[in-house]
Structure 1
Amino acid sequence: MSISPQQLRDLAARAEALATEVRALCDSAPAAAAERDPLQAARHAAGWLDRGGEDLQRAAGDLARIRSLLERRCGIPWGVCPEHGNTLSYSVNVTTCRVCGRTWERDRRGQPCQERVTWKVTDRAGTVTTMCDGHVLGARATTQGATFTRLDAELSQP
């Protein structure tokens, strides 16, 4: 089962509403000495619900950010072999990797890359480009002084 950011936001709203309801009940209760301990416990529980709602809101934001990164496509104006990079040849509506022999029934080389983004490349000037595994092979060979960061490593950082 997949959880969406909206589902987490909905849970957070429910936790916040429940915390509000608990506080309202506590505030409307008579202040008899015998009831103070249970009311204090209820107010404490409302605080936990507030923190839980905040945590759920943060989780929803993190999930949305991760999903948006994982769904992005490379988009560099030419295609590559996802495993070997710029090793494609094209003839009669078939693109072939010259290294592994894999084929595609279209001009993969002449179309924007549709592979999933897996790298962030920052050049010496600070320009950031996101790209797939295949394109990063070529970038490593031709770009001096760049920093290469796997997006899965970036996602695991707080």
Structure 2
Amino acid sequence: MGADDQGSVTPSITPDMVYAARKRAIGADLTPLAEAPVRIRDQYTRFAAELNKLATPKRAVPASDLDPSTGRPVTPEHLQGIALLADELAEAIRAAHTDFQSGSAGPVAMTMDERTTGDLTRRAGFRLPEAAGQAREVGRELRAAAETLERIAAVPTDACRIGWPVCPQHGNTISATGGRSWCRAMGCDRRWDYDRGDIPCPEPVRWRVTDAAGGDGLMCDGHALDARTRLAGGTVVPLGDEPSGRDGGR
């Protein structure tokens, strides 16, 4: 038995409960769990343990985090945890496919001709390799999202932080594909093993850029270089060379 944060009692989930839920879900006359092979019983035991982890809170969760109107805070650790579940799902699907291939995928084999049933049983599992691959891809995408969140959090608050990427030396010359990016300028060897457009610009600010209407902001070398080619009637001034009265803030 376990208790939640408010002191109420939550019943522990057992392998037999997982088995019963599966039986109800698929409507099949499964072999009683007590007579199941050790490997299958171990599988139910592992699933029950994972469900108990999810059902038992490890820390107090503010009510605002559970409010559907505000949603839950998404962290890299949260996404990594979901990725682990995707890995476990992929492994469970792979194991099920192995069962199909060996012809041990269900009690129906005991009620029909053994050879015919074995062939049909193996054929019924043809979707599983693709399903396992999709689960593994889900895990990879979740890890990539977690890495992006970590990079966003690592960008200094006083950096340029403009939302589109530049080369620190050549400006608007960045290309990206497949989660990697690089500078297109001839002779530039700058490469990044992530998409620079996924994070705020991390470069230090060195320039104040002011447009014709008087709106201004601080930019790094690369963004200031690009602003010079696009800005009509504005100014790009190095920090420290500004007119008296400017404090150099953002």
Q: Report the TM-score, using the length of structure 2 for normalisation.
A: 0.33
Question: What's the counterpart of residue 180 of structure 2?
Answer: 94
Question: What's the counterpart of residue 148 of structure 2?
Answer: none
4+ runs deviating over 2 angstroms: 152-158
Among 198, 213, 236, the residue aligned to 1:148: 236
Alpha-carbon distance, 1:153 to partner: 2.7
Among 197, 206, 228, the residue aligned to 1:118: 206
Indicate the structure whose relative CO is greater, using CA pairs within 8 Å and at least 6 residues apart: 1
Task: Check conservation: 1:121, 1:146, Cα contact below 8 A.
Answer: yes
How many residues end up aligned between the 2 structures?
A: 88
Tell me how far apart the structure 1 counterparts of residues 240 and 175 of structure 2 sit (CA, whole Å): 31
- Measured on the aligned residues, the alpha-carbon RMSD in Å equals 2.4
Alpha-carbon distance, 1:104 to partner: 0.8
Among 153, 171, 175, the residue aligned to 1:85: 171
Q: Residue by residue, what CA displacement relative to the aligned partner does 1:75-109 show, whole Å, maximum 9, x if unpaired?
A: 11112100001101112221110111310111103
Alpha-carbon distance, 1:110 to partner: 3.4
Alpha-carbon distance, 1:156 to partner: 10
Letter in 1 for 2:216: V
SS where residue 202 of structure 2 aligns?
Answer: coil
Letter in 1 for 2:182: T
Alpha-carbon distance, 1:72 to partner: 2.0
Q: Residue by residue, what CA displacement relative to the aligned partner does 1:56-90 show, whole Å, maximum 9, x if unpaired?
A: xxxxxxxxxxxxxxx72111111210000110111
Radius of gyration: which is bigger?
2
Letter in 1 for 2:239: L
Tell me how far apart the structure 2 counterparts of residues 105 and 87 of structure 1 sit (CA, whole Å): 16
Alpha-carbon distance, 1:157 to partner: 9.3
Question: Percent of aligned pairs with the same residue?
Answer: 47
Among 133, 139, 145, the residue aligned to 2:227: 139
Q: Report the TM-score, using the length of structure 1 for normalisation.
A: 0.50
Among 195, 198, 217, the residue aligned to 1:107: 195
In structure 2, list runs of 5 or more residues that go unmatched. 1-156
1:59-78 matches, within 5 Å, as: 72-78=158-164
